[in-house]
A and B are shown apart, each in its own frame.
Chain A
Amino acid sequence: MTTETRLTIPGNPHAVHEALRGLAEGALSGLAEAERNTAQIVLAEVLNNIVEHAYAEQGGGIDLLLWVEAGGLRCVVTDRGAPMPSGRLPKGRSPHPGDLPQGGFGWFLIRSLARDLRYRRAEGRNELSFCLPS
């Protein structure tokens, strides 16, 4: 991936599914396999959270901007949904495997794999920026 990749998708699970498949076969295809896998996991969790929480399954546009920088793949994801509760990113504590949890892994996975996470709420938009180390 030599230049930046920009795309806008509708905020629903099917569009997220198609966008990730497209990125894996397109813009991310030049990355090393482990890096591409990590990017897919983190982007899936970030996008699913926007669909489920920021847009509360009512839909809305999501903008993605990706580029390779020193140290990894920089991702900036923007939506016009509800702000993060208390204006901060969730801590993402790991659910206990023995409890057989069926959810609550999203932010744990994002925080485990992404670096330099930054969240900003401005002009009715959520902007999440992070780096996926190479």
Chain B
Amino acid sequence: MDLSAEVRDGALVIRVHEDRIDAASAIDFKDRMREAIRDPAPVVVLDLSRVAFLDSSGLGAVVAVMKLLAPRKLELAALSPTVAKVFRLTRMDSVFTIHPEAPR
């Protein structure tokens, strides 16, 4: 799982360079995120623009990262239609701040 991170306007923006976060990649995603969030920025924005698909394992991994990061905040950006659908159906869109686009 390839991630890239940069600080923009005080937020750590982490982009996922993978088109799927699923049962096959959820553990790897969590491990890579654990390394990426060592940067002490108070807000982390997860840029999901390149992620076309996320299943419930992927959703669980994003929630796990949110808990790892607490009390710092995990926000999400640029959800594809399928990813947005999973967050909406499970109502997990209610626990994240979701930005329509990634910070530029």
Contact = CB atoms under 8 A, between A and B. Distances in A.
Interface of A: 13-14, 16-17, 20-21, 24, 33-34, 37-38, 40-41, 44-45, 48, 51-52, 94-95, 97-98, 100-103, 105-106, 108-109, 112-113
Nearest to A112: B89
Given A17-B25, A34-B81, A106 B56 contact: yes
A101 B61 CA distance: 10
A48 B59 CA distance: 14
A113 B61 CA distance: 22
A101 B60 CA distance: 7
B55 interface: yes
Interface of B: 20, 22-25, 53, 55-57, 59-61, 63-64, 66-67, 81-82, 85-86, 89-92, 94-95
A13 B22 contact: yes
Given A37-B81, A45-B56, A51 B90 contact: no
B55 A45 contact: yes
14 contacts: A13-B24, A16-B22, A16-B24, A34-B81, A44-B53, A44-B56, A48-B23, A48-B56, A97-B92, A97-B94, A97-B95, A98-B95, A109-B89, A112-B89
A12 B67 CA distance: 28
Given A17-B20, A33-B81, A44 B94 contact: no
